[in-house]
Chains A and B, each alone.
Chain A
């Protein structure tokens, strides 16, 4: 069982593209087997001195987060690269990072928090816990996390679609609003925080959100 578990490594795909392309990225990734994704709006910069002088350097971007099993993720990324030509300038960027624990999606049902100590040489002191829930629930997430010993959290506004949200309006898919809560936690508190959020927000019930945990290599600015 334990072996099985390790083979199923999970990756977080992160794609940054120009505004308006986010939904297309998700739908094309879905064709490659990714179950869903979350899009946040960001601001990018343009590298042009003239535009910068006039203060016109802002451009709206979309940041797409998708979690998937390693092979699926790489396959999806390959397909995305074919479709969106990330190698050309102004076509966006994409990268993946690894996830050490994921809660709340059926495809990885029963997934537990892995025991960290066996992973990697560096002993991580902190974890990033990212929780994606429906709009309006971020406060609950943060209060659950604080209850379990977290120091706070950061909320991003986003929209997204999982397997439970596929209704359409004319030709457009509706992507409901989400909130992404990012919490940095001490490694020994991670399990407690994740469990509390999981219980308080019923993450295990389908359609209530997902939580994933990532390693950090270095952290600064967390005051004990």
Chain B
């Protein structure tokens, strides 16, 4: 049972901080209604159990699938197969991602139907597919990640000049939304499967990261191209947010209501990975029978775990986030909202499932050279800062999203040329990783709550852009960590001519 308790402990460690914070808030600044409070507690329990099961599932299901497929793709030794596999995987994985559909629905709504939901789903999926194929070929051909990022973000910058601020926010949000709890572990494993074949151990390690970052950049390009082509009018203001007003009196009602919907979403999101793997297995049968059984169990665990997790987040956490944001912004002293936003950001990202997967992969690939705790702490600080900055932006109407994004991305691109390559990949991956389901619901609900209570702030417009921030600050935070690491890893007492 050692294995289970170890995982449970890690899940507890990641979810307890946020739970404790809300409990403290409940007894101090933001008293919650009893039903809401108990719903939150039940949500926490569901999240802890769900996360434990999900992580088992990822370890024994999703990661091996990604690994074996990545290896098999490269072993074919044909660049055409690498590209086609990248395109297919990228397209079907992202088209099945529930978060993308939610985002596309919002865009459809925000552009008053000018950009339809289906078109945005297709374009973003195509963008991710292209970037995934591109990213895989990059690993095979040894192209440097930082130059590629410079080119891609250069294109994004040019496209951004022709779009409205609202769509800028949406497109950067898309990057976070599309790299969900399932996609990230899979893409990470895929990159590892491809790059571990490299003889040069240094680049084999470095290239295990960066693919998620490239894929999420694909989503940004996709939305930007859409908005430039269709030139939507300014977003109609004063949209009412009828969502998240779960006025149900019973504690369990929201859970029961949401269960079938969430189960369906997870099933759809899981389907392409499983189907492609099964086809691949029938064609090549490269996985042994015991391994296959293990993977299939892993998939079942992934499903159960993710459903429980999302159920807890959506039914228990979202409402609380919005109430906390609302009440804090309504207080006279705005410092509270900013401060608590900071702490919320810190504890939320720790509970993000993909963060756990990324930090573990970092430990595995670097044989423990980069410690998990250190990456977690850096990531938490980065996200904390981004949430605090987002609250400032909502409270002060003069501050606009691009005031943060433009310098932020310029700094992070410049840093890619100064930081060890390994950290560049890790940083850009963590951008997509930090903006998972937990952030997308809890932090988004929190900032929308703040916006709702702030006169002059628009819930929808100011609500967008938070995920973009959460996806950006880790880029800088982790690259700073990389600089520190490089400065500290020099050998003492030895001349540098090694």
B498 interface hit (Cβ, 8 Å): yes
Cα distance, A167 to B498, chains bound together (Å): 18
Contact check, B367 vs A208: say whether CB atoms are below 8 A apart.
no
Interface majority SS on B: helix, strand, loop or mixed? Answer: helix
A62 interface hit (Cβ, 8 Å): yes
Known contacts A62-B368, A157-B201, A169-B374, A55 near B489 by CB under 8 Å: no
Residues of chain A contacted by B59 (CB below 8 angstroms)? 58
Known contacts A57-B3, A165-B491, A41 near B368 by CB under 8 Å: yes
Residues of chain A contacted by B494 (CB below 8 angstroms)? 164, 205-207
Known contacts A159-B369, A172-B371, A46 near B2 by CB under 8 Å: yes
Q: How many residues of B sit at the interface, in one of the four size bands?
A: 35 or more
CB distance from B53 to the nearest CB of A (A): 10
A22 interface hit (Cβ, 8 Å): yes
Contact check, B298 vs A155: say whether CB atoms are below 8 A apart.
no
A147 interface hit (Cβ, 8 Å): no
Residues of chain B contacted by A159 (CB below 8 angstroms)? 366-369
Cα distance, A208 to B484, chains bound together (Å): 23
Q: Which residue of B lies closest to A175 (CB)?
A: B369
Known contacts A41-B364, A56-B4, A56-B60, A136 near B489 by CB under 8 Å: no
Contact check, A90 vs B369: say whether CB atoms are below 8 A apart.
no
B280 interface hit (Cβ, 8 Å): no
Contact check, B488 vs A135: say whether CB atoms are below 8 A apart.
no
Within 8 A of B (CB), among A160-191: 163-170, 172, 174-179
Q: Which residue of B lies closest to A166 (CB)?
A: B492
CB distance from A147 to the nearest CB of B (A): 17
Number of A positions contacting B (CB below 8 A):
48
Contact check, A22 vs B489: say whether CB atoms are below 8 A apart.
no
Within 8 A of A (CB), among B466-498: 484-485, 488-494, 498
Residues of chain B contacted by A207 (CB below 8 angstroms)? 491, 493-494, 498
B202 interface hit (Cβ, 8 Å): yes
A→B interface (CB under 8 Å):
18-19, 22-23, 39-41, 46, 48, 51, 54-60, 62, 90, 134-136, 138-139, 155, 157-159, 163-170, 172, 174-179, 202, 205-208
In the A-B complex, list the 4 residue pairs whose CB atoms are closest, starting with the nearest: A55-B294, A207-B494, A136-B202, A177-B369
Q: List 23 A-B contacts (CB under 8 A).
A: A18-B6, A39-B368, A54-B297, A55-B60, A55-B297, A55-B298, A56-B56, A58-B60, A60-B364, A135-B202, A136-B202, A139-B199, A139-B201, A158-B367, A159-B369, A164-B491, A167-B489, A169-B485, A174-B369, A174-B488, A177-B367, A202-B498, A205-B494
For the A-B complex with A46-B2, A168-B488 known, give 7 more contacts whose Cβ atoms are closer than 8 Å: A23-B368, A39-B367, A57-B3, A136-B200, A170-B374, A172-B373, A174-B489
B→A interface (CB under 8 Å):
1-4, 6, 56, 59-60, 199-202, 205, 293-295, 297-298, 301, 363-364, 366-369, 371, 373-374, 484-485, 488-494, 498
